[in-house]
Amino acid sequence: MSPKKILIVDDEPDLVETVRFPLEMEGYQVLVSNNGEEGLNQARKEIPDLIILDLMLPRLDGYKVCRLLKFDERYKHIPILMLTAKIQEKDKLLGKETGADEYMTKPFDIDTLMEKVKFYLSRG
């Protein structure tokens, strides 16, 4: 069985590495995009099992990426975990409205993130 594919879309290299390392240690194949447009294209091409998505991204924000994937029959099954510095209630609401499965704010607990990744991947 091939490893589950996780796409991280974030423009902060330190955060990407913080998240990528434990995911790879768990045996997941990790793909990385550092802007929204690239993330959207990579998601459509690779069809990952899960996406960890920042909101404030160059070229295309995370809300648009999420909406474009979740309102497309071919990709709407992919769980999207939003991981963002936007902590206001209106931002969380917008995240849910665009189809995000989970909304987590930075700074975050890596163990909690890993639990959520496992939870969503186990449902697929």
Residues 4, 81: Cα–Cα separation, whole Å: 15
Q: At what angle do helices 110-123 and 13-25 cross, to 10 degrees?
A: 60
Is the separation of the CB atoms in 44 and 73 below 8 Å?
Answer: no
Q: Which residues contact 17 (CB under 8 A, 6 or more apart)?
A: none
What per-residue confidence (pLDDT) applies to 124?
63
Distances from the Cα of 120 to the Cα of 35, 55, 79, 90, angstroms: 24, 20, 7, 24
What per-residue confidence (pLDDT) applies to 1?
73
Its CATH architecture, for the domain 5-123, is: 3-Layer(aba) Sandwich (3.40)
Give me the DSSP letters along 76-121.
Answer: TTS-EEEEES--SHHHHHHHHHTT-SEEEESS--HHHHHHHHHHHH
Is the separation of the CB atoms in 70 and 80 below 8 Å?
Answer: yes
pTM for the predicted model, two decimal places: 0.96
What per-residue confidence (pLDDT) applies to 68?
97
Residues of the chain short of pLDDT 50, as ranges, are none
Paired residues of 30 in beta bridges: 6
